[in-house]
A and B are shown apart, each in its own frame.
Chain A
Amino acid sequence: MDEEKLKPLIDRYFSTPERQMLLEAGTVLIEQGGNNERLYYVRSGKLAGFYSEAEESEEGSESTQVLSAGTGEFVGVHSFFSGTWTASSTVIAQVDSQLAWIERADTESPDDYSALTAQFMPLIVNELSQRQIRAMRESLAKEKALQQLYTAEQMTTLGQLAAGIAHELNNATGVVSSKAVRLEAAISSLINQANPELATFFETGLIQGQVLTSREVRERGKTFEKTYRLPKDQARELARAIPREGHIETWMKQHDVAIRAWQLGRDLYDLKLASQHTVGIVKSVKQLGRTEISHDEVININDTIMQAKALLKSDLRGVSVHFEPGTLPAFTGSQTELMQMWINILKNACDALKSTIAPEIHIHTRYSNGWYYVTIGNNGPEITEETRRKIFQPDFTTKKTGLSFGLGLGLSIVKRIASNYNGSVAVKSDREKTIFRIRLAPWNSNE
């Protein structure tokens, strides 16, 4: 409020020596719901008003701060001018405060009261507008906090669920893979005892599985059908089994049993492959549900990016990587988590760049206003809007090719980690480039 306009008012009403008091820090000035017939002016110090839902201040009942008044501000505006003479909040001195006041009695004569209200009008309006703004800000902040809490909750639940599933799957896969190894040894020794000649066929299947594609098998089958005058099915089974550089005549000599031995080996090979595959999936699911991470490491974000780059050396072969590290203050957090983020994004970039001529990745780091910004861009194909919308969902993946398929966990891990650091991750993509922007705050810096 305008100090100058206020000064005559203060001089006139709040300068009576017998209406001045010192309120020690922690003392309650007025109680919510209690009678208040004074309007206080804070000459110095700081007071805060609290509102609580419960009628009586029961133990554990939460109170919310609704008012704060510093030097030059007023307390009791609400109860004084609304004419209710009832305090809307409990006001407590935060520090030792000097107060001056006027009383209801001063306003007993109607003329005085209207003169007083007229003079205090700007003050009343100011107070009301302050309260309004405060309420609005608080409801916005609350909304935001709720959103954050909701996101964090979602991620934690997902993580716990994932960890639970990973544990169960690990047990099951453990049995599958150990039994597969046992079966392999048992069958291998049985075949060697019964018919050592067949062992070669069995091992061919066991060591490499089926190498030929379905198309090759079809074509080769046709050739075998003609050359060796075999029925279609048998020709095709042989086409499937005999290695490209294999000695065909050896197989033809006893093709019936040779195929059976090979198939047995091939089945075991597939079994092992599938269980390895499961182990890999479980590992990445576990990452999503990881809880045993320490967040108080002091790290340099630029270093973690360098390390991630080093780990992905083979994937990044042929891609020209431009890294422009900014000057960053030390960061508090988990090195593992940060590296997980960079690895996931860089690996995705590598996959996206597979069919790009002159593939490039640009990494850029920056610090500003307490935030760490990392930008990772590539010149790969555009990510369509539809895909961009789903890209951070935990079950979304575009990688479905054979065994190298993705789980769709990568970017959801990135998102979860970023949200742990109060941060965010965003993707922008057009025909020239695709950019991932990550914003992070040090661990717990907001608490």
Chain B
Amino acid sequence: MNKFNVICVDDQPEVLNAVQQDLKPLKQWLNIEECESAAEALELMEELDAEGQMVAVVISDHVMPDKTGVELLAEIAADPRFEHTRRVLLTGQATHIDTINAINQAGIHHYFDKPWNVDKLVGCVRSLVTSYVFDAGMDYSDYREFLDAQMMLRRLRIY
């Protein structure tokens, strides 16, 4: 079974670590990657794509040096290779304008405020990966037990 990749981006290592640990319950079927900058995340996505791997979700902090989370997610949104990749902003420091840009330019699928609720974060990633699987038109049978059941039912009714 090929694991889907979830990439977490935050310039503060302790925060990155905490996110990664919180996502542990999903480790059985997801590969959690950590990056300390937007550049590193883009590089890693390039690498994973070259290996034919799937990037299902990117969870990024917003306020980072060099490139912000919104800029990173906007860049990912514009890349046809990652058109199904789900984009999540996890930040405590976004202004009103940042948030507007996150929706209009980066088309984010979910917004988390820091500090985040672990169960909600895990649940959100689970349902985002589920929708990714369906949007990317992949065979979901291998992952049935892990996917978000409700989301799966809803998607199956449509198709």
- Alpha-carbon distance A218/B13, docked complex (angstroms): 14
Asked if residues B13 and A402 are in contact (CB atoms below 8 Å), the reply is yes
**B11 at interface (Cβ–Cβ under 8 A)?**
yes
- Alpha-carbon distance A66/B33, docked complex (angstroms): 75
Our pick among A210, A213, A218, A274 for the contact of B33 (Cβ within 8 Å) is A218
Tell me the smallest distance from the CB of B110 to a CB of chain A, in Å. 22
Q: How many residues of A contact B (CB 8 A)?
A: 17
- Alpha-carbon distance A266/B13, docked complex (angstroms): 12
Interface of B is mostly: mixed
Our pick among B16, B31, B35, B65 for the contact of A400 (Cβ within 8 Å) is B65
Asked if residues A274 and B35 are in contact (CB atoms below 8 Å), the reply is no
Residues of chain A lying within 8 A (CB to CB) of residue B35 = 214-215
**B144 at interface (Cβ–Cβ under 8 A)?**
no
Residues of chain B lying within 8 A (CB to CB) of residue A401 = 11, 65
Q: How many residues of B contact A (CB 8 A)?
A: 18
- Alpha-carbon distance A212/B148, docked complex (angstroms): 34
Residues of chain B lying within 8 A (CB to CB) of residue A403 = 12
Q: Known contacts A215-B40, A402-B11; is A232 also within 8 Å of B65 by CB?
A: no
**A217 at interface (Cβ–Cβ under 8 A)?**
yes
Asked if residues A400 and B14 are in contact (CB atoms below 8 Å), the reply is no
**A273 at interface (Cβ–Cβ under 8 A)?**
yes
Asked if residues A270 and B11 are in contact (CB atoms below 8 Å), the reply is no
Q: Please name the residue on chain A nearest to B28 by beta carbon.
A: A233
Residues of chain B lying within 8 A (CB to CB) of residue A400 = 11, 63-65
Tell me the smallest distance from the CB of B86 to a CB of chain A, in Å. 20
Residues of chain B lying within 8 A (CB to CB) of residue A402 = 11-13
Tell me the smallest distance from the CB of A83 to a CB of chain B, in Å. 61
Our pick among A218, A232, A270 for the contact of B17 (Cβ within 8 Å) is A270
Tell me the smallest distance from the CB of B113 to a CB of chain A, in Å. 16
- Alpha-carbon distance A213/B16, docked complex (angstroms): 11
Q: Please name the residue on chain A nearest to B93 by beta carbon.
A: A400
**B18 at interface (Cβ–Cβ under 8 A)?**
yes
Q: Please name the residue on chain B nearest to A232 by beta carbon.
A: B31
- Alpha-carbon distance A447/B27, docked complex (angstroms): 68
Residues of chain B lying within 8 A (CB to CB) of residue A209 = 13-14
- Alpha-carbon distance A232/B27, docked complex (angstroms): 11
Our pick among A217, A232, A274 for the contact of B34 (Cβ within 8 Å) is A217
Chain A positions 396 through 413: 1 when the CB is less than 8 Å from some CB of chain B, otherwise 0:
000011110000000000
Tell me the smallest distance from the CB of B57 to a CB of chain A, in Å. 17
Most buried by A among B34, B36, B63, B64: B34
Tell me the smallest distance from the CB of A262 to a CB of chain B, in Å. 12
Asked if residues A210 and B11 are in contact (CB atoms below 8 Å), the reply is no
Tell me the smallest distance from the CB of A206 to a CB of chain B, in Å. 14
13 contacts between A and B (CB under 8 A): A210-B13, A210-B17, A214-B34, A214-B36, A217-B34, A218-B34, A233-B27, A273-B14, A400-B11, A400-B63, A400-B64, A401-B11, A403-B12
User: Given A210-B13, A214-B35, A400-B63, 17 more contacts at CB 8 Å?
Assistant: A213-B36, A214-B13, A214-B16, A214-B36, A215-B35, A215-B36, A215-B40, A217-B34, A218-B33, A218-B34, A218-B44, A232-B31, A270-B17, A400-B11, A400-B64, A401-B11, A401-B65
